[in-house]
Amino acid sequence: MHQIACHECDLIHDIPPMPSRGAACCVRCGSVLFRAQENSIDRTLAWTIAGLVLYVVGVSFPFLAMKNGPISNETGLLTGIQLLFDQGIIPLATLVLLTCVLIPLLQMLGLLYIFIPLKLNIRVKYAVPVFRLFKHIKPWSMMEIYMLGILVSIVKLGKMATIVPGLAVIAFGLLIFVLSFALSAVDEHMVWEKLGEDS
């Protein structure tokens, strides 16, 4: 049993274990508190593993190639961030590093750390603080915005040299969707229920 506050009117409810696909509504204003998700564990794990594969492709393959006559220059995401640091553009470099590299990785590792033990029905240390942290960094994943920024600069650079987007651009583009599917498959209520079972 845990408590949840209504998003609309802030009334606190005690939530009993929910049937699959059941929805809980506020007793005062009737708004939906949350919906229990079907196969949440399997779907979260599947999307997260797919996301990790895309992530590895995204950081290890070239992000873009710049062709200026006979000269061709390939840049990976990490090299690009390194270049930003070298040029002293520290705030942008830090933001890209956080939003495109560190936060998605932390989110996916956090999901695996919580959901693999849930799937196997085993207990791991620090699952509760890890899930709290995971919920905390959720709003800070702004990959989409920075990917958009990168695409805009690719278009701008395209006027100076021929820009060929690399495999990493496709991988990161897909990762944005896959990660959001993974996050939406997380059934928070079910996780708290399971984590709290024998704590």
Residues that bind Zn ion (CB under 5 A): 6, 8-9, 11, 26, 28-29
What count of Cα atoms within 13 Å lies in the side-chain half-sphere of residue 62? Answer: 11
What is the smallest separation between the CB atom of 190 and Zn ion, expressed in angstroms? 22
What is the smallest separation between the CB atom of 153 and Zn ion, expressed in angstroms? 45
Structure tokens at 128: 């509760």
What is the smallest separation between the CB atom of 194 and Zn ion, expressed in angstroms? 26
Q: What is the Cα gyration radius of the chain?
A: 21
Closest to Zn ion by CB, 16 or 70: 16
What is the smallest separation between the CB atom of 188 and Zn ion, expressed in angstroms? 18
Closest to Zn ion by CB, 29 or 124: 29
Closest to Zn ion by CB, 26 or 81: 26
Closest to Zn ion by CB, 20 or 31: 31
Closest to Zn ion by CB, 8 or 38: 8
Closest to Zn ion by CB, 4 or 65: 4
Structure tokens at 72: 């061709």
What is the smallest separation between the CB atom of 22 and Zn ion, expressed in angstroms? 18
What is the smallest separation between the CB atom of 27 and Zn ion, expressed in angstroms? 8
